[in-house]
Amino acid sequence: MAGYFEAAGGPGGGAAIALDEVEISILRSLATQLLELIGPAPGGEDATDLDALFAEGSTEPPEDPALARLFPDAYGEPGREHDEESRRLSAEFRRFTEGELRARKRENLLAMVRALDAVAPAEGEEGAGAAVLTLKPEESQRWLSALNDLRLAIATRLDITDEDSSDRLFSLPDSDPNKPMVMAYFWLGGLQESLVETMLS
């Protein structure tokens, strides 16, 4: 089971994975960084889901390319200049939906961090090998969404737009400063794929 998700035994199914301390630390760090990039929930940390639902957001797409990929325009073709009507519709749609979408992405990432914290060794303790993380079906769905968002954000930083640009990363030398991020990208892809297979089995 080490490294990838497998079906968890017991009532209701679910998914399980064995993670060592380094893997837990990497996943937690990536999730925390994306949480910081997404920013606080509308109305602050104490805001409720209802607050997020009725909060009006920005009408402009995010300036950060990773956020723009996570919160794309709803109208017009990606990568093409939008006409005035597409821009107007996208702005109106974004105004009423982006806050809720940001809140949902934050909750998925927070669920990941909490689950990792629950299996991580306490400070000062030495881990005894890999810790087994078990997810219920609803938790698996949150993790799947969080893994997808993490990969999209990393893909943007690495300028991955299609399969060809992804393939070229395999030949990067170890000395390339992007190599750790590339390795994380492919590892997250493996986690995501194995979780999907587990959820469908």
Q: What is the pLDDT of residues 35-62, one digit of tens each?
A: 999 988 655 555 555 555 555 667 677 8
Give the per-residue pLDDT at 170.
Answer: 81
Query: What percentage of residues in the chain have a pLDDT greater than 90?
Result: 48
Residue 127 lies in a domain: yes
Q: Which residues pair with 7 in a beta bridge?
A: 15
Please, what's the b/e burial string for 51-89 (b: 16 or more CB within 10 A of its CB; e: otherwise)?
A: bbeebebeeebbeeebbebbbebebbeeeeebeeebbee
Residue 1 lies in a domain: no
| DSSP 8-state class, residue 7 | E
Residue 184 lies in a domain: yes
- 144 lies in which domain range? 6-200
Residue 49 lies in a domain: yes
Largest CA distance in the chain: 59
Q: Which residues pair with 47 in a beta bridge?
A: none
Per DSSP, the three-state class of 55 is coil
Q: Which residues pair with 135 in a beta bridge?
A: 15
Query: Distance between CA 191 and CA 193 in Å, rounded?
Result: 6
Residue 50 lies in a domain: yes
Total domains present in the chain: 1
Q: Tokens 């199914």 correspond to what residue?
A: 13
Residue 143 lies in a domain: yes
Q: Which residues pair with 134 in a beta bridge?
A: 16
Q: What is the pLDDT of residues 58-88, one digit of tens each?
A: 767 788 999 988 888 777 665 666 667 777 7
The enclosing H or E element of 15 equals: strand 15-19
Residue 89 lies in a domain: yes
Residue 79 lies in a domain: yes
